[in-house]
Amino acid sequence: MKRYMVRSASGLGVICVIRTEGDVAEWNFPADPGAVRDARAAVRGQLHDWKLASLDDVAALLVSELVTNALRHATGPIGVRLVRSARSPGALLVEVSDPLPDLPRERAARPDDETGRGLQLVANSSRRWGTRPGEKGKTVWFELAVPG
């Protein structure tokens, strides 16, 4: 397992790269505001490596939203996972996990609300999305259509 030291707003943190070989890439980020930027950069880099750069803007935006939600509501490490699936070759699966067991719910934000649009953005920008409980927390996932 690779570990990288990164400088964050609160000092040095560790990004744990679980794997980036083949059709799966996984990272764990500390519950730190810098995790949003680091997750976005990791996703963009992996999609570039996979020759899926056409998806990097939308994937980075949606990962930013979900990692921000995890930071706002949970403590502990935040997992990000990308999967190019042979079962569904036209899709990229993106998962964001955190240790809080409470599943998020989509809200209808009023025009003046400053929060509450993240899951709407995920729902409207992805092919499909959902949540699932895990042994330790939950995972919010979405699929993006792979062009071609």
pLDDT of residue 15: 55
Q: What digits encode the pLDDT tens for the residues 70-127?
A: 999 888 899 999 999 766 678 999 999 999 998 887 777 777 767 767 788 899 999 9
pTM score of the predicted model: 0.84
- Within the chain, strands assigned E span 2-8, 11-19, 24-29, 78-84, 91-98, 128-134, 137-145
- Return the CATH number at 86: 3.30.565.10
The backbone torsions φ and ψ at residue 31, rounded to the nearest 5 degrees and listed phi first, read -75, 80
The share of the chain scoring above pLDDT 90, in percent, equals 56
Distance of CA 31 to the CA centre of its chain: 13
Number of domains in the chain: 1
**Identity of the residue numbered 22:** G
pLDDT of residue 111: 77
Domain assignment of residue 100, given as a range: 2-145
CA triple 4-10-15, angle to 5 deg:
20
